Amino acid sequence: MFRDKKWWYGRVESGFGSTENYVVALRNMEYSIVPVPVGNNIFQVIGAGGSPPYKFSMSITENERRCIQVRGNAASMSMALIPILGFMIPSFVANEVECPGAEQLSNYELVSPTL
């Protein structure tokens, strides 16, 4: 999983994990390699400030490598105008993407998960 550099939520950590616990927090230009169990998994990403988690499911098979990009949710920018929306719209979202190459990852800082 990785997080690009974007201007919104640049200093805010985004937590990633399962519905039971978060295993890594990422800031802009950081990545982590998180081992996950084989099978159907429900993951979530959360930010600071009381926004709800963004939940998504992913099916993992044996010896499979999948990549997730975490990014600030542009829709949550509306909470600057209507603050109550901050409690209804996730600050961060995550999507499965093509895995970045070693050259691209060399620009990121590796963050170890807490398992």
> CA-based Rg of the chain, rounded to a whole angstrom?
14
Per-residue pLDDT of 4-59, as tens digits, reads 887 666 678 889 998 788 899 999 999 999 998 899 999 999 986 678 899 999 99
- Nearest C-alpha neighbor of 56 from the set 88, 24, 87, 92: 92
Read off the pTM: 0.84
Report the candidate in 23, 35, 14, 31 with the shortest Cα–Cα distance to residue 110: 31
Res 110 pLDDT > 90: yes
| Residue % of the chain over a pLDDT of 90 | 53
State residue 72's pLDDT score.
85
Indicate the pLDDT class of residue 108, thresholds 50, 70 and 90.
very high
